[in-house]
Chains A and B, each alone.
Chain A
């Protein structure tokens, strides 16, 4: 079993839709949860960063962490064609060093 599971998609939605991206993880020691966005043939860029459980909102993006179910989510409101990219969830332990990445979900937002 992978430490972080993420459906690779692809996920195709119309412009303006609410997008829900999800990951599950197996190690209860993970405390840091990140979402990265990666455009084609580019390096990933940090989108959201949360510590432990809870929600975090930044503009059209909301990250949710439910440690009881080991489930992390990223919601994108009013999705735009420019949001088309691969979204990678990532986790790290407290005091840890290595970041564990999900497989990435490819998102296509159609105009």
Chain B
């Protein structure tokens, strides 16, 4: 299957700083990528849909100014958590759609804000 690489896998940052998470499609081009947030023992919550060359589409309740998404190329989408606070601590996962309804996920990034 297709490979999606997400980096970093784990990051600890101080409250008030910004953190950038990268998601790369390694062996295919992805015009669209999805960003999810996952709380412990809960399912994936779609935050936004990243579109190459255009603005991201955010889900209701997700602050676009807080979670900045950039999809500058067909193989790279980034999520920047700005002015992070402890409540932003979570597991963030990106995915790229396959040819059908399947999705290929990155390894996830565990963000801890202290």
Contact = CB atoms under 8 A, between A and B. Distances in A.
Contacts of A36: 105
A42 interface: yes
Contacts of B95: 43
> Is chain B's binding surface mostly helix, strand, loop or mixed?
strand
A43 B102 contact: no
A32 interface: yes
Given A32-B100, A49-B100, A43 B105 contact: yes
Given A41-B91, A42-B107, A46-B1, A32 B46 contact: no
A43 B106 CA distance: 6
Number of chain A interface residues as a range: 20 to 34
B46 A49 contact: no
Q: Which of B6, B100, B101, B110 has the most CB of A within 10 A?
A: B101
B108 A8 contact: no
Contact of A88 (B1, B43, B108): B43
Interface residues of B, number: 25
A46 B100 CA distance: 12
A101 B108 contact: no
Nearest to A99: B103
Contact of A43 (B46, B97, B108): B108
A72 interface: no
Interface string A42-60: 1111100101000000000
Interface of A: 6, 8, 32, 34, 36, 41-46, 49, 51, 88, 90, 92, 96-99, 101-104, 106
Given A43-B95, A44-B44, 10 more contacts: A36-B105, A41-B108, A41-B110, A42-B108, A43-B107, A44-B93, A46-B1, A49-B101, A97-B32, A99-B101
